[in-house]
């Protein structure tokens, strides 16, 4: 039997001070002649990144950083069906002003679906993965993925893997350091089990949760190289983001409260985005079978909207001792995350 009090030494969990949460001054140039962040080469993608970064020249300098200019639509997009030029002053594609950057299996899909009820929110359906997988395709490619929006509407996207991608905050800040960032977090132990359950449904021959989570079953040493464990180190990932964005640009949404009180959490989200509180209690009902809130039947629809079959799937049986070992491992990281965000999420 392993020792429940064995300490994992892979990370330094000593207390640290996070008084200065503003990004470094170099991120906020004040004139066109200032050194630009896209002149640096990312060795992971080489020259392709220079092509992507050169498109940031379409941005303009503003006090406090970069603000994306609306990239004009192509000539073809400016033509009506009869070939007569038409104005784009009513609808246009813009870079997202707010992005749900994490976390996987935290409740990001539910949050996006709930936000879509709001008439002033337009969001991409699929995850773009621009800042982690497709950055070399360039900003024009990214902008073209966005839905058309009216003046006053917010463009959004969600890609949960951004939160755990080292290069993502720098790349995103190069586009716009004023982007609002939403992180949906959940008890890291429950999140890891949910992550494993999803993978198991696609790979039935997957090794047991215990063998993947622990390096050594006798000592109980947690394997932080396994992504299902590593994603739950929220404090470590947030530390990376705070090098580029101030804490005031983040909203941390409780995945648990998004289930137990969806209207309450959605109120916080709408306030953060500067939206009128349109999404409320009247939009939700609790699905006892799934164990999740669903959206009530919209007008003109024959049935209510619930998340897909993959949501709310039963978790496999895992040894209570393994789960306790993970809780002991995550505890100092959770406490540090509480201090950094100023929120106690109540995980143990």
Binding residues for 3'-phosphoadenylyl sulfate: 105-109, 186, 194, 311-315
Query: Which segments are annotated as binding site?
Result: 105-109, 186, 194, 311-315
- Nearest one of 1, 3, 25 to 329, comparing CA atoms: 3
State how far the Cα of 9 lies from the Cα of 7, in Å rounded to an integer: 6
Which one is catalytic: 93, 104, 105, 158?
A: 105
Give Cα separations from 327 to 26, 80, 323 (angstroms): 39, 59, 6
Coil, strand or helix at 216: strand
Report residue 221 as tokens: 């040493």
Radius of gyration of the chain (CA): 22
Give Cα separations from 126 to 43, 91, 113, 157, 201 (angstroms): 28, 21, 12, 8, 21
105 flagged as catalytic: yes
Q: Which residue reads 């002003």 in tokens? A: 97
Buried b (16+ CB within 10 A) or exposed e, 324-340: ebbbbbbebbbebbbeb
State how far the Cα of 168 lies from the Cα of 35, in Å rounded to an integer: 20
Listing DSSP states for 134-187 in one string gives: -GGG-HHHHHHHSPEE-TTPEEEEE-GGGGG-TTHHHHHHHH-TT-EEEEEE--
* Contact status, residue 93 vs residue 144, Cβ threshold 8 Å: yes
Q: What are phi and psi of 16, to 5 degrees?
A: -135, 160
* Residues 6+ away with beta carbon under 8 Å from 96: 124, 146, 155, 156, 157, 179
Q: Which residues are catalytic?
A: 105
């Amino acid at each position: 039997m392993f020792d429940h009090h064995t300490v994992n030494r892979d990370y330094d969990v000593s207390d640290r001070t996070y008084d200065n949460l503003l990004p470094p001054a170099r991120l906020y140039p004040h004139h066109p002649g200032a050194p630009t962040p896209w002149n640096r080469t990312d060795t992971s993608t080489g020259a392709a990144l220079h092509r992507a970064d050169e498109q940031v020249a379409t941005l303009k300098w503003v006090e406090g950083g970069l603000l994306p200019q609306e990239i004009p639509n192509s000539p073809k997009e400016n033509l009506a069906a009869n070939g007569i030029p038409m104005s784009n002053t009513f609808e246009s594609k813009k870079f997202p002003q707010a992005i749900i950057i994490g976390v996987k299996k935290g409740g990001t899909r539910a949050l996006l679906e709930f936000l879509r009820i709001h008439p002033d929110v337009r969001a991409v359906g699929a995850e773009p993965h621009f800042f982690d997988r497709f950055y070399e395709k360039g900003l024009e490619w990214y902008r073209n993925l966005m839905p058309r929006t009216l003046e006053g509407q917010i463009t959004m996207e969600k890609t949960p893997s951004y939160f755990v991608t080292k290069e993502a905050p720098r790349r995103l800040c190069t586009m716009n350091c004023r982007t609002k960032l939403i992180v949906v977090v959940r008890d890291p132990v429950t999140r890891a089990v949910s992550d494993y359950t999803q993978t198991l449904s696609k790979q039935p021959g997957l090794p047991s949760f215990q063998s993947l989570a622990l390096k050594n079953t006798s000592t109980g040493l947690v394997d932080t190289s396994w992504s299902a464990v590593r994603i739950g180190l929220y404090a470590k990932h947030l530390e990376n983001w705070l090098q580029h964005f101030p804490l005031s640009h983040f909203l941390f949404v409780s995945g648990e409260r998004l289930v137990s009180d969806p209207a309450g959490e959605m109120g916080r989200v709408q306030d953060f985005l500067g939206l009128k509180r349109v999404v409320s209690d009247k939009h939700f009902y609790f699905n006892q079978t799934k164990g999740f809130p669903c959206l009530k039947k919209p007008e003109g629809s024959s049935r209510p909207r619930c998340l897909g079959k993959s949501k709310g799937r039963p978790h496999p049986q895992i040894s209570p001792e393994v789960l306790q070992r993970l809780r002991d491992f995550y505890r100092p990281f959770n406490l540090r995350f509480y201090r950094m965000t100023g929120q106690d999420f109540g995980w143990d």
